[in-house]
Amino acid sequence: MRIDGLQYANWSEKIFRQMREGGVDAVHVTIAYHETFRETVLNFERWNRWFEQYPDLIMKGLWASDVDHARATDRTAIFFGFQNPSPIEDDIGLVEILRTLGARFMQLTYNNQSLLATGCYEDYDAGLTRMGRQVIREMNRVGLVVDMSHSGDRSTIESADHSERPIAITHANPHDWMPALRNKRDDVIRAVTQNGGMLGFSLYPHHLKDKSACTLDSFCEMIAHTAEKFGAEHLGIGSDLCQDQPDSVVEWMRVGRWTKEIDYGEGSAIAPGFPPQPDWFRDNRDFGNIENGLRAVGMNDTEIAGIMGGNWYRFFSENFGPQS
């Protein structure tokens, strides 16, 4: 089983076919960065058209059982999520509406302070806001997973502790391996995993040691080391693959509507666009390289099967349903 905890590709038939070539059974797909509720609904509509156009390649995912169905029918199940709480605007009632439409993950922040929590690029992390605590409670109730991939340390720890259900960091790496603002320190990873949550390892070059030149061995050694510290059962892949996106999209991701200036984020003024992927992970056909790399660094078959998809599958099965 192969499940990717996060992608934001420029979707096309080519990519859908590459998913099948790579044996990718399910992908958590970002369908909102800074969109309002109405704009997010339009993105749901666009995906509905793709499901109609390519029914032999992809299907909508709502439950863990949809991964089983996708595997049985040689398709990829698509699960939806938001990298920002902007789709709920300032209305907690939209949490349930969006979950009913098919959303299964929502980040409480995207780099900046939101109405709910503090992003990882702010100078001061004030933690969860009053609305943030209420939204987490509502997300727990309806079965919408709290994602803290772009959040500050305090906000993430408070969310892990406040949430009655496990939360996720769908796409990031340990800060002590690669000290990027987006990567997570041990106390943050510990807070998430000790509460039953998940960490998805990112393959976005700005999150990698040596960036685009990161080696497969380095990446897999990092995973093995993280498994020793926090338990392999809490780990998966969240590639953050942005395949075929034009450089203008990275500006939209970082800037949205909140500034008139260009925010280069983890890039630089010299190279503000998308960095090239490592040569061992360029698209969905390369997931087998990670599996082989994990085996080469000494991980056993059970650990590898969990990291490549089994752990996400268990997490989906336990957290997509309404609170009992």
Helix or strand holding residue 31 (H, E): strand 26-32
Instruction: Give pTM, 2 decimals.
Output: 0.95
- Domain range holding 315? 3-319
Looking at the structure of the chain, the number of domains it has is 1
Q: Is residue 305 part of a domain?
A: yes
For residue 109, tell me if it sits in a domain.
yes
Predicted local confidence at residue 265, as pLDDT: 58
Within-domain flag for 149: yes
Q: For residue 286, what is the DSSP state?
A: G
Enter the DSSP assignment of 242: -
Strands 103-107 and 76-82 come out as: parallel
- CA 4 to chain CA centroid, Å, is 8
DSSP assignment of 179-231: --TTSB-HHHHHHHHHTT-EEEEP--GGGSTTGGG--HHHHHHHHHHHHHHH-
pLDDT the model gives residue 269: 41
Alpha-carbon 294 to chain mean position: 21
Amino acid letter, 108: L
Is position 236 within any domain? yes
Q: Does 324 fall in a domain?
A: no
Which CATH number do you get for residue 132?
Answer: 3.20.20.140
Question: Does residue 313 fall inside a structural domain?
Answer: yes
Q: Taking the alpha carbons of 265, 270, 274, 280 in that order, is the dihedral positive or negative?
A: negative
pLDDT one digit per residue (tens) for the chain, 324 residues = 999 999 999 999 999 999 999 999 999 999 999 999 999 999 999 999 999 999 999 999 999 999 999 999 999 999 999 999 999 999 999 999 999 999 999 999 999 999 999 999 999 999 999 999 999 999 999 999 999 999 999 999 999 999 999 999 999 999 999 999 999 999 999 999 999 999 999 999 999 999 999 999 999 999 999 999 999 999 999 999 999 888 888 787 878 888 888 765 554 444 467 889 999 999 999 999 999 999 999 999 999 999 999 999 999 999 999 987
Angle at alpha carbon of residue 30, lines to 196 and 65, rounded to 5°? 55
Look at residue 264 in the predicted model and tell me its pLDDT: 59
pLDDT at 267: 47
Do residues 209 and 218 lie in contact, with contact meaning Cβ atoms separated by under 8 Å? yes
